Amino acid sequence: MIAVFLGPPGAGKGTQAAKLAAKYGTPHVSTGDMLRDAVAAGSDLGLRVRSIMDAGELVDDVTMGEVIRTRLAQPDAAGGVILDGYPRNSGQAEFLDSLLAGTSHRGVDLALQLSVPEQYLVDRLSQRRACPQCNAGYHLAYKMPSVQGVCDLCQAPLMQREDDREDVVRERLRVYQEATAPLVEYYENKGILRAIDGVGSIEAVFDRADTAMGQAVRA
């Protein structure tokens, strides 16, 4: 099963993708996490993408194509993946299709769109915190760590992502509308789009995402 998540920044894609991945035993492939790891490691890739990410812009398609091609070629991806943050524009969606055409997956099976009205997003993102060590995500209202400011999993101090600052968030939302939102139609035309309401508790949204995933697995 190849599932892709669509939805604006702050819709909860990372949280829901991680929960589905745990339930279905499928790798959660977050290109944002992969790039943040590269930045933290100070690799060539990290040095190239850091300022682009901090500004809320998209990394170029050739670089991202190489990132996703390498990741999908790893053995743990052979049984399927849940993609979060890729594809981000129509060029990437077409590249993904061409990449999958040469594998046993043949194509994307499910595009899950998390719909969240814009007025919620800036608020959600500004209250988001992340562990710089293991990428675990927290939220000051919905998903507090047990000890304030400390990751439950690896005890590292939590940080606010550089690109969760309000001015960068507004740019990310603009980029989403311009480049990524058209993918909804791309996957709708393929008959594999499932839109779910992304407003509600993490568990309530998960139930909806899980139902859509379960139906796609059985189809």
3-class DSSP state for residue 125? Answer: helix
Long-range contacts of 152-159 (CB under 8 A, 24+ apart): 156/131, 156/132, 157/132, 158/129, 158/130, 158/131, 159/129, 159/130, 159/131, 159/132
Tell me the one-letter amino acid at 12.
G
Which residue among 128, 129, 194, 208 is the active-site one? Answer: 128
Tell me the one-letter amino acid at 60.
D
Between the alpha carbon of residue 195 and those of residues 13, 20, 36, 107, 118, the distances in Å are 13, 16, 28, 19, 16
Q: How far is the CB of 215 from ligand AMP (least distance, A)?
A: 25
Contact criterion met (CB below 8 Å) for 158 and 138: yes
How are beta strands 28-30 and 110-115 bridged, if at all? unpaired
Can 48 be counted among the known catalytic residues? no
C-alpha gyration radius of the chain:
16
Q: Which stretch binds ligand AMP (CB under 6 A): 31-39, 93-101, 113-121, 181-189?
A: 31-39
Quick count: other Cβ atoms within 10 Å of Cβ 157?
11
Tell me: does residue 58 bind ligand AMP (CB under 6 A).
Answer: yes
Q: Which stretch binds ligand AMP (CB under 6 A): 48-56, 109-117, 140-148, 185-193?
A: 48-56
Contact criterion met (CB below 8 Å) for 197 and 205: yes
Per the DSSP assignment, residues forming a β-bridge with 83 are 4, 29
Q: Which stretch binds ligand AMP (CB under 6 A): 71-79, 86-94, 107-115, 202-210?
A: 86-94
Tell me: does residue 88 bind ligand AMP (CB under 6 A).
Answer: yes
Tell me: does residue 12 bind ligand AMP (CB under 6 A).
Answer: no
Q: How far is the CB of 10 from ligand AMP (least distance, A)?
A: 9
Tell me: does residue 10 bind ligand AMP (CB under 6 A).
Answer: no
Tell me: does residue 8 bind ligand AMP (CB under 6 A).
Answer: no
Among 1, 37, 50, 52, binds ligand AMP (CB under 6 A): 52
Q: How far is the CB of 48 from ligand AMP (least distance, A)?
A: 11
Among 15, 26, 31, 135, binds ligand AMP (CB under 6 A): 31
Size of the site for ligand AMP (CB under 6 A): 17
Q: Which spans of this chain sit near ligand AMP (rule: CB under 6 A)?
A: 9, 31-32, 35, 52-53, 56-59, 64, 85-86, 88, 92, 163, 172
Residues carrying an active site annotation: 13, 88, 128, 161, 172
